[in-house]
Amino acid sequence: MAHNDKILAASQKHPLVPLERGQLYKYGTAGFRMRADLLEGVAFRVGLLAALRSRKLNSQAIGVMITASHNPAVDNGVKIVDPMGEMLEQDWERLATALVNCPTHEDLVEVYNKLVAELKIDLTIPAKVIYGRDTRPSGHTLVTALADALVAADTEYVDYKILTTPQLHYLVRATNTEGTPSSYGKVSEVGYYEKIASAFVRAMKGRKIDGTLTVDCANGVGGPKLHEFLKYIPKDKVAFDVKVVNDDVLRPEVLNLDCGADFVKTKQRAPPIPKPQPGARTCSFDGDADRLIYYWVDPQTGFFMLDGDRISSLAASFIGDLIESAGLKDDMRIGVVQTAYANGASTNYISQHLKLKVICTPTGVKHLHHVAQGFDIGVYFEANGHGTVLFSPDALNAFRDTKPQSPAQKDALDTLAALGDLINQTVGDALSDMLMVEVILAHKNWTLRDWAMTYTDLPNRLVRVEVADKDLFETTDAERRLSKPSGAQEEIDEAVKKYKDARSFARASGTENACRVYAEAATRSEANELADRVVRVIERYGSSQ
């Protein structure tokens, strides 16, 4: 059967569900993400695109992850991972959107062939796609549709079954660097555990971890994977007492329900189950284990959260000190990348106290990742806890090849080299970021309270505002100012002027018909008041069409 006929026949088994009111499926920051029952045809078409991407990039392996991260259990998503474990190249997001929205099976084959011609893709060269999924029951149907597309497009594939999102990113990079000097690790889930566990032991250097760490796994894939990972840490090298909670993957309906990193960040409180223990060091993953938030509950002062901004400043401070001790300060450019949602106090602490360069980008990890790659060491975290630290090849070589002149310098170089292996360079990874935090706290001999004392957050508030048409709202200056509708930004500026240490901005949501308003000021009541004023501005402009 010819290539086109195979695609046509396979597509008919996985029809596309038309969206209401003629809306289009859009490839966004998280790929295609929505109610799972809309995604079967989408997953099939994404499989075709992933095969084309692999052929366009000379048969390198492309990844596909089936997950909806922190969304409720009824949702799912499909996203493509590029060869080095990074997000899909932006130009191809448009191609994904075009291919997925073909109204008929015949149109699909036609657009597929048009892409082949436009991109000058040789269909006779091999293609390879690897994929995984989180614990959602709908994942099975979507993976079946994806595999059918890969078979129809004559593409070799590997199904890694259930994985965290960062594990799939790891596997994509490991597959494409296998047998080269820049090999990222063994091409297996076990290879991921071995690499990180070995780096953790090297980075700890026999230091003690204080007390028990409680990890809330959002009843998602992070639970079983964390249990599995812990088996790889040799007890005689590092005594690491971890209590895993919210790790029920057998009842799909409890995924992300009143637990997980997104719940903790947005509700600003600990998950109600299990009952928070006063003073316990606790962290939360999200449903696909790529976000991390730390916190504790104090009997006197209540809940205290250490979010992505805090993790970012902790990592930047520690790595900056190590670079100095390693004698590499003059050779290494260290930068911290944030979004407009980063607390103003964290930005001031990093730029004024740590004396490090801070760059602000639009929301979305792909933007932060890209800018972080411009530094020898680029630290990036969104406030929601999604982020990582990128080390350039030159930096990794320097940690390995610099000849130490003293035991202290050797110690710093060894620790930096271990961190380079411990921190997942491909994408934010809750498991490896958690280990990084534990290493830093152990080296500094800090409690969460010591960490919290580095600076005081400015009170802030984030509000979701429903609008008639979110596309009326356009932004500039890394999403910190509205360019449209005309006049709205001037009104926000007027409101901000009335409060001390204040800033506020609004932007359209990437996933729903709403705007998000962020406000920050010197006191809690002023931050709330400012948020309310800006919400009223957005409501007024959002309804006047």
SS3 of 356-405: the string is CEEEEECCCHHHHHHHHCCCCEEEEECCCCCEEEEECHHHHHHHHHCCCC
Q: Is residue 1 pLDDT above 70, yes or no?
A: no
* 75 in a labelled binding site: no
Count of C-beta atoms within a 10 Å radius of residue 257: 17
pLDDT reported for residue 516: 92
Cβ atoms 390, 404 nearer than 8 A: no
Q: Say what the pLDDT of residue 511 is.
A: 67
Q: What is the pLDDT of residue 12?
A: 97
Collapse the DSSP code of 472 into the 3-class scheme (helix H, G, I; strand E, B; otherwise coil) and give the result.
Answer: helix
Nearest to 111 by CA among 92, 96, 122, 133: 96
CA angle 230, 232, 233 (to 5 degrees): 75
Helices 90-100, 105-118: crossing angle, 10 deg rounding: 150
Q: What is the pLDDT of residue 542?
A: 86
User: Residue 3: which pLDDT band, with cuts at 50, 70 and 90?
Assistant: confident
**Whole-number average pLDDT of the chain:** 95
CATH superfamily of domain region 192-305: Alpha-D-Glucose-1,6-Bisphosphate, subunit A, domain 3 (3.40.120.10)
- Percentage of residues in the chain with pLDDT exceeding 70? 99
Architecture in CATH for domain 460-543: 2-Layer Sandwich (3.30)
d(CA 191, CA 168): 12
Q: State yes or no: 421 annotated in a binding site.
A: no
Query: Where do the domains of the chain lie?
Result: 3-162, 192-305, 308-452, 460-543
Question: Are the beta carbons of 363 and 322 closer than 8 angstroms?
Answer: no
Q: Is 507 annotated as a binding residue?
A: yes
* pLDDT value for 2: 65
pLDDT digits (tens, 9 = 90+) for 13-23: 999 999 988 88
Per-residue pLDDT at 163 exceeds 60: yes
Share of the chain above pLDDT 90, in %: 91
**What distance in Å separates the CA atoms of residue 342 and residue 320, rounded to the nearest whole number?**
20
Fold of 308-452: Alpha-D-Glucose-1,6-Bisphosphate; Chain A, domain 3 (3.40.120)
> 508 labelled as ligand-binding?
yes
Q: Which of 70, 15, 5 is nearest to 41 (CA)?
A: 15
Cα 428 to Cα 38, 134, 314, 365, distances in angstroms? 27, 16, 16, 9
525 is in an annotated binding site: no
Confidence grade of residue 429 (pLDDT, cut at 50, 70, 90): very high
510 is in an annotated binding site: yes
- Per-residue confidence at 366, pLDDT binned at 50, 70, 90? confident
Please give the pLDDT value at position 474.
94
d(CA 32, CA 34): 7
DSSP for residue 465: E
Q: Does 340 score more than 80 pLDDT?
A: yes
Q: Please indicate if the annotation marks 301 as binding a ligand.
A: no
| Topology agreement, domain 3-162 and domain 308-452 | yes
CA distance 225 to 245: 13
State yes or no: pLDDT of 442 exceeds 70: yes
**Is 70 exceeded by the pLDDT of residue 545?**
no
21 is written with which tokens?
A: 């009111």
Query: What is the model's pLDDT at position 527?
Result: 96
Any binding-site annotation on 288? yes
pLDDT at 544 exceeding the cut of 70 = no
pLDDT in tens, 242-301: 999 999 999 999 999 999 999 999 898 999 999 999 999 999 999 999 999 999 999 888
**Maximum distance among all alpha carbons in the chain?**
72
User: Would the CA dihedral through 292, 415, 81, 253 be positive or negative?
Assistant: negative
Per-residue pLDDT, averaged over 111-133, amounts to 97
- Encode burial over 511-542: b for 16+ CB neighbours within 10 A, e otherwise: eeebbbbbbbbeeeebbbbbbebbbebbeebb
In CATH terms, the fold of domain 3-162 is Alpha-D-Glucose-1,6-Bisphosphate; Chain A, domain 3 (3.40.120)
Q: Is 504 a catalytic residue?
A: no
Q: Which residues of 293-319 are buried (b: 16+ CB within 10 A; e: fewer)?
A: bbbbbeeeeeebbbbbbbbbbbbbbbb
Confirm whether residue 511 is marked as ligand binding.
yes
**Catalytic site residue from 69, 138, 312, 317:** 69
Tokens of 174: 């490991």
Of 495, 511, 515, 513, nearest to 503 (Cα)? 495
Is 98 marked within a binding site? no
Per-residue confidence band for 380, with pLDDT thresholds at 50, 70 and 90: very high
182 is in an annotated binding site: no
Q: Could you give the angle at the alpha carbon of 174 between the alpha carbons of 231 and 159, nearest 5°?
A: 80
